[in-house]
């Protein structure tokens, strides 16, 4: 697997890049400084009044078929809160606003796509929903599953950082 720090050519002038530090490539010709920063993501812990949270089953790679939290990559010119609201609409057809979501904390992960490994940092929110809420999985979500907070299938969670965050969060709240 190639990581961004292994990229060989300058995206500006196509000359060879030189690895300066574990997070910095410098172009041998035009002096472009290419920093390797994490990609920002979000995830949402949706809870109902029955001590359950919602997991999504991933439709596509990486980790197709594994469970995940709703969420995704943050778009350019989008706040984290806006991205949470957008992802809830895209993946689950749920309408929420910023007052409905509460920030919990963040986690780091890696995301491999088409043979390239990216570093990510994920902002995790929570929201309470009505027990009879209607959810329509779409976009990159295959299906959804309500699970009891004491019965989360951690071995089938797609991303390690999300798994660690959930274990810590639910051990402190249950």
Q: Which residues bind Zn ion (CB under 5 A)?
A: 10, 12-13, 15, 27, 29-30, 32
CB of 8 to Zn ion, least distance (A): 12
Q: Which is nearer to Zn ion, 27 or 74 (CB)?
A: 27
Q: Which is nearer to Zn ion, 8 or 12 (CB)?
A: 12
Q: Which is nearer to Zn ion, 32 or 121 (CB)?
A: 32
**Placement of tokens 């997070």 in the chain:** 23
**Torsion of Cα atoms, 165 then 150 then 46 then 159, to 10°:** 40
The whole-angstrom separation of Cα 100 and Cα 88 is: 12
CB of 25 to Zn ion, least distance (A): 10
Q: Which is nearer to Zn ion, 16 or 105 (CB)?
A: 16
- Among 20, 23, 17, smallest CA distance to 5 is for 23
Structure tokens at 48: 């109902």
CB of 11 to Zn ion, least distance (A): 8
CB of 28 to Zn ion, least distance (A): 7
- Among 65, 52, 45, 41, smallest CA distance to 141 is for 65
């Amino acid at each position: 697997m190639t990581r961004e720090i292994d990229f060989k050519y300058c995206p500006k002038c196509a000359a060879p890049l030189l690895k300066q530090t574990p997070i910095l490539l410098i172009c041998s010709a035009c002096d472009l400084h290419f920093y390797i920063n994490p990609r920002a993501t979000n995830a949402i812990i949706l809870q109902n009044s029955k001590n359950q949270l919602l997991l999504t089953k991933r439709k596509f790679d990486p980790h197709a078929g594994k469970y995940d939290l709703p969420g995704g990559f943050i778009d350019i010119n989008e706040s984290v809160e806006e991205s949470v609201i957008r992802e809830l609409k895209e993946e689950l057809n749920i309408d929420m606003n910023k007052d409905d979501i509460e920030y919990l904390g963040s986690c780091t992960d890696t995301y491999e796509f088409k043979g390239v490994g990216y570093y990510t940092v994920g902002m995790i929110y929570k929201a309470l929903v009505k027990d009879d809420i209607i959810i329509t999985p779409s976009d990159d979500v295959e299906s959804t599953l309500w699970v009891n907070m004491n019965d989360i299938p951690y071995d089938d969670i797609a991303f390690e950082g999300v798994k660690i965050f959930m274990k810590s969060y639910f051990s402190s709240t249950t």
